[in-house]
Structure 1
Amino acid sequence: MPRSSRAVALAATAALLAGCGSGETPAAPAGSGPEAVTGDVTVFAAASLTEAFTRIGKDFEAANPGTHVRFNFAGSSALAQQINQGAPADVFASAAPTNMKQVTDTGAVTAAPVVFVRNRLEIATPAGNPAKVTGLPDFARQELKIALCAEQVPCGAASKKVFQTAGVTPAPDTLEQDVKAVLSKVSLGEVDAALVYRTDVRAAGNKVTGLPFPEADSAVNDYPVAPVVKAPNVSGARAFIDWVLSDKGRAVLTDAGFAAP
């Protein structure tokens, strides 16, 4: 090797050794491995996702040791309001695009939510259907006790649409702020009939009787999910959404009665 080339090589070696001896670890090249997911992942999710997301959360934690999924289940309108007011959340899963738009319009979540499932309404009665409810026209009967979701939440907006389609003016005795509150009224026998999602009927098991009705096709709800812009755990938010969209996540959602988008 020429003397000049040997000098350059020795100088480069000395510089490398000096860098290693300084205590600094060279950065790993980009894309050299998956981003580690740890810590709490806070998910704000529509009440109708309670059973399915609770299962998905446990599966996610098992696959990602060191993580803990914390859920806030409520009506989508209430969740959107909480996020817009600065509540710390990593993920928002809404039961309708309208409530997701409430947070995309303010810039609180990314502008590209993904629809991951669909859901439709079903009539729910106490087990055995003691009032002999047969369809939507029964919701106009003054002698029956009826529970519906309030219009500002997705199940309430969908209910309003199916009643309009059927030409029925309902006579509700109570308007609840999320679908699980409606379902509770039915399962406890406090009302004769209600409109909930078919996934809620399935989750209630033998506590209620479900009655599908054709007008439900006019108000099928799309469920979008998105990470919150100010997510405390950005990598956790991204990983949780990926899990929901994975084959394992979709299998849980399908088993719960949700339909593919």
Structure 2
Amino acid sequence: MNPSNLKRAFLSILIAIFLVISVHAVPAAAMQKVIIFHAGSLTVPLARIEKDFEAANPDIDILREAGGSTKMARMISELGKPADIMASADYKVIDKTLIPGKADWNIRFATNQLVLCYTPNSRYADQINADNWFEILQKKEVVWGHSDPNLDPCGYRSLMVLQLAEKFYNQPGLYDRLIANRPEKNVRPKSVELVSLLKTGNMDYAWEYLSVAIQHELKFLTLDDHINLGNYQFDDFYKQAQVKVTDKKPGEWITRTGQSVTYGITLVKDAPNPAGAVRFLEYMLSDDGGLKVLKEMGQPPFIPCRVPTQAMKDALPGNLPTLVEVRE
């Protein structure tokens, strides 16, 4: 190699080394992470909300983990799993499991109702209706299920629907007859697992939230407001349903009482990134942000969202007080 070529090669190597050093000497801005534990029934809308929020806030990376609301709350309160936000399908899970130790407040942001989901291939799909569904579910060849009431609010709400149906249709013993035709293997940890069982033909019918049925394009049967847990005006009737579920410690039990479906969300006290979490909550709970997505996906939001007391509203961080009203 002649001297001029050698010189050019040496200069090229120096430039390459300089570029490598320069890139590593100026670190990229660190991405903030916001960890959200949430109900499985919020998986589809939160995926959309996450995408929209990250597009407008490129410095924040949303990390979500879904499951039965009771299970997710216990992961925070009992196992100490790090999380910034907890969103529950039953706001009472936050009240009973996270407040006061792990959270200070609880915003109610959406409602829902239970429906009976199925597919065109489900047994008796061409015959089932609002008047005979409980007869179809008692047939020995029909496979139906629900989520685990100890882990997932949709599970204990499914049992409440069956109890309320017994009263509404004046069918003594209906609840026991239905449960007798539902083996334990048909009880799954979270309600969204039942969707795949329906779509693969391994289950004929499953209890889900209306929003989940719409989002997963399932056929579904809507029920009378007296039993679907979707209308707060029937809360007095819903109170007749009670389901005993496991408490925090082994061998201890608590009783869940029927009430219209209400979702809750909170900021975890020892959140790794409270500032980023508040930014997400402000978007999530705005009527032109997350609440708009929920509405589009079949889950009616509360606009504005709700807290039970003025003291709780005053305790909210950031702009959250402007997004809520005080309402029992």
Aligned to 2:34: 41
Deviation at residue 210 of structure 1 after TM alignment = 1.1
Specify every segment of 5 or more residues in structure 2 that has no aligned partner in the other structure, as ranges: 1-29, 167-173, 230-237, 239-258, 303-328
Percent identity, aligned pairs only?
27
- 1:195 corresponds, among 173, 188, 207, to 207
Displacement over 4 Å in runs of 4+: none
Offset from partner CA, 1:142-177 (integer Å, 9 cap, x none): 221111111121101111111111113222231011
The within-5 A match list for 1:85-164 is 85-105=79-99, 107-110=101-104, 112-127=105-120, 129-132=122-125, 133-134=128-129, 135-152=133-150, 153-164=152-163
Q: Which is bigger in relative contact order (C-alpha 8 A, separation at least 6)?
A: 1
1:237 and 2:277 correspond = yes
Deviation at residue 106 of structure 1 after TM alignment = 5.1
Specify the SS of the correspondent of 1:140. Answer: coil
Q: Distance in 2 between matches of 1:139 and 1:83?
A: 37
CA contact 2:123–2:142 (8 Å) conserved in 1: no
Query: CA 1:229 to 1:144, structure 2 compared with 1: closer, same or farther past 3 Å?
Result: same
Q: Distance in 1 between matches of 2:200 and 2:156?
A: 24
Aligned to 1:55: 48
Q: State TM-score, norm by structure 2.
A: 0.64
Q: State TM-score, norm by structure 1.
A: 0.80
Deviation at residue 54 of structure 1 after TM alignment = 0.7
Offset from partner CA, 1:92-142 (integer Å, 9 cap, x none): 0000023212333451122x2001101111111123544233323422322
Q: Please give the root-mean-square deviation of Cα atoms over the aligned residues, in Å.
A: 1.8
Specify the SS of the correspondent of 1:161. Answer: helix
Specify the SS of the correspondent of 2:269. Answer: coil
Q: How many residues align?
A: 222
Q: Distance in 2 between matches of 1:253 and 1:198?
A: 12
**Matched residue type, 1:223:** Y
Deviation at residue 38 of structure 1 after TM alignment = 5.7
1:82 and 2:75 correspond = yes
Aligned to 2:221: 211
Instruction: Name the structure where helix makes up a greater proportion of residues.
Output: 1
